[in-house]
Structure 1
Amino acid sequence: MSYAIIGLGNIGRALAKAFSRKGIEVSVATTRDPESFAADAAAIGPKVIAKTLAEAVKADVIFLAVRFEAHPDVARALSNWDGKIIIDVTNAYGVPPEELGEQPSSKAVAQAFTGARLVKGFNHLIAATLAQDPAAHGGRRVVFLASDDDTAADEIGVLAENLGFAPIKLGGLSEGGLLVQARGKSWGHLIFKDLVKFDG
């Protein structure tokens, strides 16, 4: 299984740190030439590899860590996303619901990535928290996952475990997924909740 992070802002860097911490190779890409951020990627860890967008989207699992407004630009990198899992880490705060056809923002993202299996996740924590070691207070930091594809959610749940997090599945995008999505100028109820799971 190959992994890529599209976007190298604060959230993208936090995700890259999570991979580096566990020694799992991950590609990172932006719309810029990889030479412009290769040093930043290398500074995070030796297994964080700067690539072009065209190269990065060849990965099996792709974290979409760009501004919500930029997701259509990334979607155009491939005409067909069949077989790939897109993890939607975006937050559409401030985007009027009518612009999204009154549907959850992750549904709009799913429609842009034709053929992909979409999982909403890793988006409810601020970057500084997400960047920390998920082993906290004797437990593991929680990440929420929502998807209309149970198998995809299970696969990303395993990845979250491998990265040291405690995944909690919320159900479909239009149900539990709304708890971790912004709608207009309001945040979902679980956004910014830094929770720790204790394995008993």
Structure 2
Amino acid sequence: MNFGTIGAGTIAQAVARHLVAAGHRVVVSNSRGPSTLNEVVSTLGPLASAGTVAQAARADMVFLTVPWWNVEAALGGLPSWDGRILVDATNQFAKADPLEVADLGESTGSEWVASLAPGARIVKGFNTLHARYIIPDPRHEAGRQLLFYAGDDAPAKATFQQVFEGLGFAPVDVGPLRDGGRLMQVGGGPLSALHALRQD
């Protein structure tokens, strides 16, 4: 598989670093263009490259890691996803200072993201963990880092599980985007910001 990131911040770089270390190719993108990512790509290693958002979105699995208020612009204008996997790592903060959670009514953040990415198979993941728990090796002396995920497409979730199990995480399927997404969502979801290890 090949991978892409829409967004090139701390979360995107942490995930990309794990993937590159395991021998996967990753195209990293941001809103400012590939020329602004030379330093980032050089730190990730030779399997990482900088691209446009459209180029990153062509990967088999793509990670959406932009701030919530940039999601619509980041996904706007992209062609149909044609069944590729889009991992939504965002949290629906309407603004950063002070932090304010967007009111989506009955919908979850990932259901809204899905409406902006026609043809994508959405998996919610990486939004419940602070970056400091994603960056290091997920295999610790006390156990493996739990990684909660949700989605409506069983094969997409199975692929996500297989990839990140292989990287040393302990993925846990918490259900569909509606119910599982609520468990993972900021503003009341009990799994939001929960750090735990699985003892194997």
Q: TM-score, normalised by structure 1?
A: 0.91
Equivalence for 2:139: 135
Stretches (4+) displaced over 4 A: none
Matches within 5 A, 1:166-181: 166-181=170-185
Report the Cα distance in structure 1 between the residues aligned to 2:26 and 2:53, rounded to whole angstroms. 13
Equivalence for 2:26: 26
The AA in structure 2 aligned to 1:191 is S
Aligned length: 194
Distance 1:131 1:114, change over 3 A: same
Unaligned runs of 5+ in 1: none
Identity %: 37
2:123 to 116, 119, 123: 119
Instruction: Work out which structure has the larger RCO, using CA pairs closer than 8 Å and 6 or more positions apart in sequence.
Output: 1
Query: Deviation per CA, 1:23-77, whole angstroms, max 9, x where unpaired?
Result: 3221110111211111222112222211111211111110001111212122224
The AA in structure 1 aligned to 2:11 is I
Matches within 5 A, 1:71-150: 71-93=71-93, 94-97=100-103, 100-150=104-154
2:69 aligns to what SS in structure 1? helix
Range 190-199 or range 85-94, more displaced: 190-199
Check whether the contact 2:2–2:24 (CA below 8 A) recurs between aligned residues: no
Q: TM-score, normalised by structure 2?
A: 0.91
Check whether the contact 1:57–1:77 (CA below 8 A) recurs between aligned residues: no
Alpha-carbon shift at residue 124 of structure 1 (Å): 0.9
Unaligned runs of 5+ in 2: 94-99
Report the Cα distance in structure 2 between the residues aligned to 1:189 and 1:58, rounded to whole angstroms. 33
Check whether the contact 1:14–1:128 (CA below 8 A) recurs between aligned residues: no
Matches within 5 A, 1:30-45: 30-45=30-45
